[in-house]
Structure 1
Amino acid sequence: MEAKVKDRIASWSERWNTGNTGWHVAGVNHCLMEYGEALLPSGSRRRVFIPLCGKTVDLKWFYDGGHEVVGVEAVEKCVLEFFAENSLKYVTETLTWAKVFRTECNRLKIYCCDLMDVELEALGKFDAVWDRGSLVAIYEEDRKKYAALMKSLLTPDFKYLLSTLVYTPTESFNGPPRNVPTELVEELYGDVCKVEVLGSQEDEGRAKKWNLKFFTEYIYLLTPKTQ
C-alpha cells in the first residue's frame, strides 16, 4: 500500500509538471457559484476545508469572503503557483507530517502532504467542506477511509458541498475522475449525514471525449442527520 501511495503522489505530480491538468479551471467553480449560499449561511463566517485543493481559486473565493480556509494538497508545485498567481504573501512551517503554507494573517493555510496522513488534531474541526474533484480522484479502496476522515473533521452544525461524477465505466475509461453514484454517497456518508441532491448537469463534451454514453455531474448538500 505504501508503494501505491508513493506512486499515486508521483503520478499527480507528473501531471502538474506536464500541464496534464484538465480538471483545473481558471475561475471559481460553477457549482460553488450556484450553490455556495447553501454551504455558507448569509452573514456567517465559516471555517472551510478543501481536500486535494490543487491551486483552485476557490480557496481565494472563500478567503475573500472573510472565511478561514484550509486546504490539503500533496504536490508543492501547485501550492506555490496558487500563492504566486493570486499575489498572496505567505510564510511556511515544516511539521513532522506536512509543510504548511499560510497567509501572513493566518486565515488561509495549505498543508502540503498526503491527505491520508493528516493529523486530525492539528487540522481541527470545520463548519464547511467543499469537495470538488477529491472523492472522484481517490482510489476506490481508499473511499471508506477517506469518508471516515472527512466525517471526523466536521463540527456538529456542518454543511458539506460535494460534487461527483456519474457514468458507466468502460475498458477504455474508468477514471480518474471516477464514477461515484448517489448510492455510494449514501453508503459512505449516510450514517451521519442527510444527503440531498441539489442539482445535476450533463457534460456532453467529456462524454464524447471518453466515448461514454453519458457523463453527469451531481452536486449534493450533506448536513447533520437527525435521529
Structure 2
Amino acid sequence: MSDEAYARLQDAIISGELPPGERLRDYDLAERLGTSKTPIRHALDRLADHGLVEMQRNRYTRVAPIDLERVRNAVDLFGDIWIGSLRHEKAVIEADDLAHLTALADEVVEAARVRDVAGFGIALRSLATAFARIEGNGARAAAIERLDPQIRRFAQHARDAFDAEAVSACVEALRVALIERDVVETRSVLVTLFDDVLSGMIDRAEERGLVRSDPE
C-alpha cells in the first residue's frame, strides 16, 4: 500500500496537481487515496528523501518548492551516471539490446516532436535506465530512478522553456550513434544533451520566471 501511495502522490506532485507549498495532512491524504495513515506516512518519508516533500516535525509537511539549483545538480548527476554506463556498454551489448535501446530512443524522439514533456521525461528515464541494466549496474539504475522525479517535476512546471527542436536533434543523433555502436559519438551527444540543451532549459525557465524557487 505504501508503494501505491508513494506512486500516486509522486505523480500528483510531478504533474502539479499538488503544487509547491501545498500542505499535506496524513488524514486528508489517507481519505483521498482510500487507505490508512501508515502507508501515507511511509510514502511521505520516501518523497521527502527524494526532495519532493518538506517535513518539519510537529509543524507541517508540504510539497517542497522547486529548487533550481537542486534541479541543476540532478540533471548533471543524471547525465554523469548515464555516461558512466557507456564505459562497459560496447563489450556487453547484444543485438536484441541494441534493438531495445533504439526503440526507446524512438519514443524519446516522438515525445519531443509532439512536445509531450511528460512523455519525454518518462521515455528519457527508461532509455537511461536501460543502459544501466544492460551494463548490469543496479546502483546506476536506482540512482536514475531517484533523480528522475525532481527533473520531471521541473519540466512539467517549465514547459514553455522546453526546446523540442534541440532535444529532438540530440536524441536522433543518439539513435544513430547507437545503431552504429559509436560509443564516442554517443558520449558526445549525451554531453550536449545534458550540458547544453537541458541546462539551457533550466536557465530559460529561471530568466522567464517560469518556476518559482519558493511557494507563495
TM norm structure 2 = 0.22
Q: Normalized per residue, which structure has more strand?
A: 1
**Larger relative CO (CA 8 A, sep 6+): 1 or 2?**
2
Q: Which has the larger radius of gyration?
A: 2
- Give the alignment's TM-score, normalised by structure 1: 0.21
> Which of the two has greater helix per residue?
2
